[in-house]
Every structure is written in C-alpha cells, then in structure tokens.
Amino acid sequence: MSVTYNESARSFKLTAKDTCYVLQVVSEGYLAHTYFGKALPDDDLTYLLRLDENPFTPETNDRDRASFMDTLPFEYPTYGLGDYREHAFAIRDKNGAAACDLRYKSHRIYDGKPALDGLPATFTNTPDEAQTLEIVMEDKPAGLEVTLIYTAFTDLDVITRSAVVKNVGGDDVKLTRVYSACVEFDTEKLDMITLWGSWARERVIERSPLHHGKQSVDSMRGESSHQNNPFTALCEHKADEDSGECFGFNFVYSGNFISQAEVTQHKKTRYVMGINSADFEWLLEPGEVFTAPEVVMVHSDSGLGKMSRTFHDLYRNNLIRGEWKDKRRPILINNWEATYFNFTAEKIYQIAEQASKLGIEMMVLDDGWFGHRDSDNSSLGDWFVYEKKMEGGLKALVDRVNALGMKFGLWFEPEMVSPDSELYRAHPDWAIQVKGRPLTLCREQYVLDYSRKEVRDYVYGMMRKILDSANIEYIKWDMNRQLTEVASNALPENRQRELWHRYVLGVYDLMNRLTTDYPHILLENCSGGGARFDAGMLYYSPQIWCSDDTDAIERLKIQHGTSMCYPCSAMGAHVSDCPNHSVGRSTPFETRGHVAMVGTFGYELDVTRISQEDRDAIPAQIAEFNKYNTLVRTGDHYRIGNMFEDNLWDAWMFVSKDRSEALFEFVQVIGRANERSRRIKLKGLDPEAYYFEESKPEVKLSGAALMECGINVGGLWGDYKSKILHFVRV
C-alpha cells in the first residue's frame, strides 16, 4: 500500500516506489515530521523525534513548552508560538494578532489523487497509480482548518504536497503566508542546487553547501522568472549524476515563489517552498477556502540523474495533458528571426512554400500580424488582422499554406496591452496600476489585470474570432514583461495584496478555456524565452520555448540545466540562422540540428535565403529527427558531459525504457591539437546484453563494456562539431 496509518504510534507512512515519508501526531496533537528517504520496513520510527530528550514534551515539561516548539521537527510549522525557525503558515486574526496554533483533528486515506481548484497539478490516469492522505489540522480560536494533502505515487519515487485552508469560524481572517510544503532534515551536511539566470541565459546550475542561516531563491516578478526557477535539489556533498542521495523539489506554479533552506542552531535543516509571502495577503471570509499550489518532491538514492528522470517520467505521464501529450510534435518553421516585423503575407507564403518542399510541416507566424504593429511599440491588445501586411486577410494566407500540405500557427501575447492600442484607449483602467502613480513601461507595454473576468472575457473573445476565422493549429503564447505597480482598479482596499495570486489564477483560467475549447491546438508557452518554464505551464502547454538564445553552443548549457527537472520533450528548440542573432556565433548546420533534436525541433530562419548547402541538408536532418524522436521523447535521458564544468565538450544519451536501443550525442565545442580520441562511458544500458552501433553492425560489445570501459569518440576536426551514434541491442 502507498499510505498506511499506525494507530498505536499515531504515525503515517507514505511509500512511493523505493521512497518513504513518515509523519506522526505527537503530544497534544502537534504534527511532526519523522523521516523522508529510502524505503524502510518499519512501522514505528518515533525514536527519531527524540521526544525522550530535553525539553521533552509539554505533557511532561510544560514549563519549557517554548523550547519544545523551537526544537520539534514540525510538519507544517506556524508563526507566533515559540518556533523561531522559518514557518510555513501565518495569519492575522480579527484582533490583528499573528499567532496560530494548528493541531491534528482528523485524517482520511483514499486511492487516486484530487484536483486542486483553479490550479494545475499532477494527476493519476487510473486510481491505482497513487494513494492520497489528507490530514485536517485546526486552530479553534482562529476558526481555521488546514487540510494537508499528500499523494504517494505507486511506481515513482514521488510524493506531492499541497494545503487547503478553510475559514470555519464566524470572523474574517487574513492569511499572510500559506506555503505548500515544509520538510525537516536531521543534518546540515547538504548541498543546495538551484537554477538561476537571465534573459537568453536561463537555468544556470548553481551548487553550494548549506551554511547556518537561511539560503533561498525566489521570484517577486509575477512569474516564475528567468532569474530563478522554482526548482531546488538538496543532496549529499558527494552526490553526483549517478550516485548519492538527492531530494528534488519543484513548485507547480507560475507566479511569485520562494524556495528556502535554513540550517538551524542544532545543525538541522528546514526546507520550505510555496507562494512568496512578500507582499502577499489573502482575506478569508467565513466559509471561504484558499488552495495552495502543489509541490512535487522526488527522492533519489542514485544521484541527480535518477532524480531528473523521475521528474521527467512524472511530468510526461501525470502532468502534461491533452491531444499532444504522447505525440510527435509537428516540425515547424517560425518567421521571427527570419523577418522580425518586416514581412507581408506574400513573404510568409514564400517561406512556407520553400519549407514545404523540404519536409517542414507547419508555418508559424510570429509577432506583428495584428493591429497596426510594425515594431514592438504598439497594438498589443488589438487582436485583429493588420490588413496592410496581411493583404487578403489571415484566412487567405492560412488556406494557401494549408494547400501546400502544411499546418499553420500563430503568435499571441494575450496578457499585455500597448499604450498605443484601441484596447488601452478604451479601457486604460484595465491595466495593472496604482492610482495616482505613473505606469512603468517595459518593452513599451503594460500588463492587463487578469484578476478581472471582464478583461479575460474580452481578450478571449478577440482570440476566438481569430481562431474561428481560419484553420489555426498551433499557438505560441508569449509574455514579455514582469509586473510592476501591482494594484487593481477592481479589487477593494482589503484585497489589493491578493492581485499577485489572482493574476496567475486568471492566466490559468484563460489557458484552461483555450485548451478546452480548442483541444486540437498545440499550445506552446513562452515568456521572453524561458521566464515561465515551470511545471504550472506544462499542465496547459506540452512544450515551452526554452530560451530566446537559439545558439546551439549556448543551448548546451540551457538545455542541460532545464533537464535537471523538466523533460526534453517539453523544450522548444529550433535550428536558427548564423551568425546567430543572440551571440554572433557561426555553428555548423549539422550541429545546430543535433542540439535542436534534443527538444521539440523546428526552424527559425528564412529558408529562402540560407545557403543551398544548408537548404539541401534539411530533408536529411528531418529524417534523422523522425527516426529518433520516439526514443528522445519517451526514453530515459542521461547527462554525460557538463558544459558548466568542462566547456570543451558535451554529451548525452537517450535510452529506451526496455534498454533495446540508445542514442548517443556528442558535441566537440573546442577542437584541440595533438589529442587522442576522448574515452566516454555510456549510461543506462543493460550490462548483460550486447549492442552494436548502427554504422558498424559487425562490432558487438556488452552493455557492461560500453558503460565500464566506454567508447572512443574522435575524428572531429574543428570547433562546434557533433556526431550521433545509435546503439541497438543484439
């Protein structure tokens, strides 16, 4: 069973494949965290709580209750009663007081997994995939119940957590902090791994040992952000890709967040994750409910690689939904780097016409087709066709492209409005703003107040007219700025601090309506590239544009960092023009294809203007992608090289679930004189089976030899060269 209850110890044990998580009710109904790690057979681990040590429990030593509160490893710590470590939950009651005291009330265990109201979350495809534990905690004086929700997946080392707060009293309560998870570790000897970055250089891996005090990453930008991703791993100092214990945490949310580890006075570590409490407040009236987003917790006893593959499996099978969940995505060509704003319908058709001859399957029209938009200083919010550019209308162009045998996709930025737009002139109050203060421009645009249903309805109405007017089969949903002056013209004073979260809920609402009404449309999320590459977005869009930096060599780091938590099948990746528009680097066309093949694969260039040599290479490149896509999309991903540690080369593998075949990819970043071939050990194969590399079927080597001894990779002359090898089991 995934969840069991030991009545004598009052302890709960959640077992997820080879992992278990134990918590229990102790003195006076306090809920303690007991254990998280490798699966154990024991039903009672009470001794781990040290309840027989000073300061003992309040039942035997009430004069030192405050010391008890400051040492017990609380499962969901609250503020104001003597626990001075980081807390997960805080309120303001009707008297303005902040103290809160949650005690166990009841619990229930059931098969399957609940949905979270208005929020993305992982799910079960069948009830037997997981079991759920709900523990109801109560603070009687405050009139609050907090239901802690845990789900343990049967075949994955995954436990998810969230919390639902209900006002069961007769007075209003203000929530000032509602984190989704807290986990206590009985050690300070851990490394913290996070993903930081900026525009065009997202998800840089940073690893550092914990020290006394608090270490955190967060976002207060209204999105998960380029700067810090809502992912953290805590691991043993010795842990690497293939060995050591690791704990991964990922927030299924697309707005402000915090991920924090605190090493306490007793050399223990408390880890918390949730909605950032800075500038957060939520008024909970009698009978109302607040739902905190989900945290996914992954345990690995075999290094970072196993942790990542567990995240990948979970997200591919139990987070990504819809028609495109298990399908190869269309090979597309996007006109953005080909034309920017300087295009006409005829130019788009010319690109599509040439692309169709080469085997490209979809034409995507990016920014600039609407309003009177000739640059990025106007027309956001005016989602009607710019007739000056789109002579004959959108439908005429789409029909012509469809006649070539190609699908058609379209770019939107639905959350934004330009000051120079019909929408803003008609409804300036619809922008997020503080009354009496000027609005801050970024990319010469403002943010629409998505907490307001009338705003969402209006924008969606315009989008529907476009989508119903022509055969649109793909949408690129962009968001190109962060939130400032966060206040709403529609919310009362006592609810203004709710706008950060209400905005995200509004985005989810509109995305849910879009994917429900148009289930055949492939939705790709984007936010200035990768500023919202998070699990919340994956619930609505099966792929996310990984970065606006399309340079193949830069992408080695970006895609490596992204793969720490997110599956390669979700990474939007294109072959782009050279010299690259972000960094000016020229990279061989073959290498650009091999790197883009890790993700969804497509093209971002003017196929009518590239060299004949590169154009002629496209059909073979597409054939190669088609040959290996099922393996890349569904197989296990193994990181071998690491450009963050050695920028001379990179390598990775995809291995089928039955280990019958594997794809090895290698990039020589810098060529070196007078060097022998590089010896690289493969990963993930069956050690007892024999394999041959497809180009040399006469040479057969055991999986053990390929993994313990490795292969010799050489024969590449020059910088930025690549090769792929396909291994097949005999």
Q: Tell me the DSSP string of 598-661.
A: TTT-EEES-TTTS-HHHHHHHHHHHHHHHHHHHHHHHSEEEE---TTT-TTEEEEEEE-TTSSE
Question: Residue 545: which H helix or E strand, with range?
Answer: strand 543-545
Choose, from 83, 93, 478, 549, the residue flagged as catalytic. 478
The string over 42-69, giving b where at least 16 C-beta atoms fall within 10 Å of a residue's C-beta and e elsewhere, is eeebbebbebeeebbbbeeeeebbeebb
Q: What angle do CA 414, 416, 419 make, to 5 degrees?
A: 135
d(CA 122, CA 105): 27
C-alpha distances out from residue 5 to 22, 77, 133, 580, Å: 10, 22, 10, 58
Q: Which tokens is 468 given?
A: 């119903």
Among the listed residues 139, 548, 606, 650, the single catalytic one is: 548
Q: Are 565 and 559 in contact (CB under 8 A)?
A: no
How many Cβ atoms from other residues are within 10 Å of residue 268's Cβ?
Answer: 16
- Per the CB < 8 A criterion, the answer to whether 391 and 375 are in contact is no
Type of residue found at 99: A
CA–CA separation, 191 vs 20, rounded Å? 21
Full DSSP string of 377-412? TS-TT--SB-TTTSTT-HHHHHHHHHHTT-EEEEEE
Q: Token match 């999986």: residue?
A: 703
Maximum CA pair distance of the chain? Answer: 84
3 state SS of 672:
coil
Instruction: Give the helix, strand, coil percentages of the chain, each rounded to 5.
Output: 25, 35, 45
Are the C-beta atoms of residues 683 and 697 closer than 8 Å to each other? no
> Considering only CA atoms, which of 106, 105, 114 is closest in space to residue 150?
114
The yes-or-no answer on residue 548 being catalytic is: yes
Burial class for 7, CB neighbours closer than 10 Å (0-12, 13-18, 19+): exposed
Annotated active-site residue 240? The verdict is no
At 454, is the secondary structure helix, strand, or coil?
A: helix
The H or E element spanning position 681 is: none
Return d(Cα 43, Cα 77) in angstroms, integer.
24
For 524, counting Cβ atoms within 10 Å of its Cβ (0-12 exposed, 13-18 middle, 19+ buried), the class is buried
Integer Cα distance of 371 and 423 in angstroms: 10
Dihedral over Cα of 489, 491, 494, 497: its sign: negative
* Residues annotated as catalytic (active site), given as ranges: 478, 548
